[in-house]
Amino acid sequence: MLALVEGVLDFLAALPMHSRYPDHGRDRAYTRSYRISRLVVGFLGVLLPIVFIVGEAAYLRGGVHVRGSLSAYYHTSMQDIYVGGLCVIAFLLITYMAGEPASWDFWASAIAGLALLVLVFFPTSRSGLPADAPACGSVPEPAGCSPVEQTLGEHPTAVVHAVSAAVFIAFLAVMSFLFAISEVRSAKERAAAEASSRPGMFQKPSLFRIHSICGLVIVAAVIWVFAGAQLGELTPLYVGEVASVLAFGVSWLFAGFYCSAPTRSGRAADSELASQG
């Protein structure tokens, strides 16, 4: 019987359930996973605004129209995609850099992720209703109200939504700027680079410019929300939200395609892991 148990355990231990990379090779494998997480966030950020428009047009079998804001898609046929897509982004942001909780990157992404979760479950007000339409919280319950809106009231829920949206977008800009800062070499790195064939202030100057531009686009988009003009049927709020999300997505895509974290030698990585153990 004991031999049978040992045989089963040996069989299970031989299955490819654990990292097959020894020593510092495991670091590289986890780095790839980390970069894939960035890519998923980036792709979702770029694709969701397009999916909302195209998906609703296909569902309604009509012309392509846009809502007054991205948040308004909560109260449409795209509600499941809206909630599911944003929740995926939120949980990826909350767990991003969880292994380095003392870093600014961790706190910026965690705050953005938590704000996004609040934004999702405290929806904005319903749009396109008659002036005398009963608000959520009324009895009998009006159509299209979420349980949170019916419990807290439509206006208080929308206020929470607006505050969380502001926090979320602000920290999108912060994360893009942090990506840009990660390309700045420290004084020690610059001194070492002077002796190499690649001296300079930045590790990858092009990435520094891209992330900085994305951060500035998000800031400009926020200003447009309050001071911009209507562009056809596109409201300033919609334009600002879409521009912010697209810039955020592009920044994370480039952060995923290129590893911004400093490269470590195998010996240095092993020493650090040993000290943590």
Sign of the CA dihedral with 139 first, then 145, 151, and 153 last? negative
Question: How far is 28 from 23, CA to CA, in rounded Å?
Answer: 10
Q: What are the residue boundaries of the structural domains of the chain, listed by start?
A: 24-126+136-183+200-259
pLDDT tens, 142-169? 888 889 998 998 899 999 999 999 999 9
Question: How far is 170 from 175, CA to CA, in rounded Å?
Answer: 9
pLDDT tens, 214-263? 999 999 999 999 998 888 888 999 999 999 999 999 998 888 877 544 44
Amino acid in position 125: S
Taking each helix axis from N to C end, the angle separating 24-60 and 266-276, rounded to the nearest 10 degrees, works out to 90
Q: Which residues contact 259 (CB under 8 A, 6 or more apart)?
A: 31, 35
CA 71 to chain centre: 16
Q: How many residues does the chain have?
A: 277
pLDDT tens, 43-79? 888 888 888 888 877 776 655 677 888 898 888 888 8
- Write down the H helix ranges in the chain: 2-14, 24-60, 79-95, 104-121, 147-152, 154-181, 187-194, 205-227, 236-257, 266-276
**Which residue bears the tokens 């007000």?**
125
Q: Which residues contact 96 (CB under 8 A, 6 or more apart)?
A: 37, 38, 41, 105, 106, 109, 110, 113
